Structure 1
Amino acid sequence: MKKSVNIVVEKASKGFSAYVPELPGCITFGDSLGEIKENIREAITLQLEGMKEDGEEIPFNLQEEFTIELNLDVAQVFNLYQSINSSGFAKRIGMSQSLLSQYVNGLKKPSEKQSRRILEGVVDFGRELSHIKI
């Protein structure tokens, strides 16, 4: 079973930056999430090669094949997918439009529970859309 590696993605002035918390200094940039995935995989590979050469211990989840999980915050998701209307989405998940707007605009940071609630709403919405035939 492949282990997963969490990648923290942040909005940069142009595009995105990403880093691997378990590998200090392993960072990359890209214009899209697809480019970030490619670039971070290459950065991880290079970093691991250097660590092996230097006799450093490789983190457990990076010792074999691994999958990459991109972690974005609420504001980044709504920035990236601007076609998701935050007021309609708030209504869909039963959240105050004002509160979700504050999360989207970076004025407030959602708690872990609120982040899960939003993510579950996004996943449910995506699942629903994937079953539509046109």
Structure 2
Amino acid sequence: MVNKKIIMTVEKIETGFSAYAVDYPIFTTGKSIPELINSAYEATEFYFEDKKVKVDANDIRFEIDFKQFFKYYKVINSKFLAEKIGMNATLLSQYVSGTKKPSPKQTEKILSGIHQIGQELSGINLLQTA
């Protein structure tokens, strides 16, 4: 088990995504987010292998900035999200563009709204119409 949480910063690149650990020399890439996450787990396990440290998924936290998140997940409309979480749409737009930085409380509110939308979507089944 790792002594502290491993923070992996995710960035959008031309060929997909990259991630690097803030406190360790761990770097990786992937064509998609799921591929990047799997690659990051493998790279982290490889780094700690010779140190005889066991790493599991709960030891790693992935972070991506607002601008890159909304650039990749274009399906999430910031105006819709702002309405959903009771936030001023212009303020959220400023967070997304990077002209303002959200407080930790605002970040948690936004993340909670994104998770809520994800839960709602995962509970929906689409019907095929004839």
Is the CA contact 1:7–1:71 (under 8 Å) kept in the aligned structure 2? yes
Separation (CA, whole Å) in 2 of partners of 1:75 and 1:107: 10
Separation (CA, whole Å) in 2 of partners of 1:49 and 1:130: 36
Q: Secondary structure at the match of 2:61?
A: strand
Question: Scaled by the length of structure 1, what TM-score is found?
Answer: 0.77
Is the CA contact 1:8–1:21 (under 8 Å) kept in the aligned structure 2? yes
User: What is the deviation of 1:13?
Assistant: 4.3
> Kindly tell me: are residues 15 and 107 of structure 1, through their superposed partners in 2, closer, same or farther at Cα, counting changes over 3 Å?
farther
Identical aligned pairs, as a percentage? 42
User: What is the deviation of 1:87?
Assistant: 0.9
Question: Scaled by the length of structure 2, what TM-score is found?
Answer: 0.79
Amino acid at match of 2:48: L
- Structure 2 stretches of 5 or more lacking a match? none
The yes-or-no answer on 1:40 pairing with 2:40 is yes
Amino acid at match of 1:128: E
CA deviations over 1:52-79 (Å, ceiling 9, x no partner) = 3xxxxx7xxxx32410432222222211
The yes-or-no answer on 1:121 pairing with 2:121 is no
User: What is the deviation of 1:114?
Assistant: 0.8
Write out the 4+ residue segments of structure 1 that deviate beyond 3 Å after TM superposition.
3-6
Q: Which moved more, 1:89-98 or 1:10-19?
A: 10-19
Q: Which moved more, 1:110-119 or 1:70-79?
A: 70-79
The yes-or-no answer on 1:131 pairing with 2:87 is no
Counterpart of 2:54 in structure 1 is 64
Counterpart of 1:16 in structure 2 is 17
Q: Which has the higher contact order (CA 8 A, sep 6+)?
A: 1
Q: Which moved more, 1:84-93 or 1:114-123?
A: 84-93
- Structure 1 stretches of 5 or more lacking a match? 53-57
Is the CA contact 2:6–2:22 (under 8 Å) kept in the aligned structure 1? no
RMSD: 2.4
Q: Secondary structure at the match of 1:83?
A: coil
> Kindly tell me: are residues 27 and 65 of structure 1, through their superposed partners in 2, closer, same or farther at Cα, counting changes over 3 Å?
closer
Is the CA contact 2:28–2:43 (under 8 Å) kept in the aligned structure 1? yes
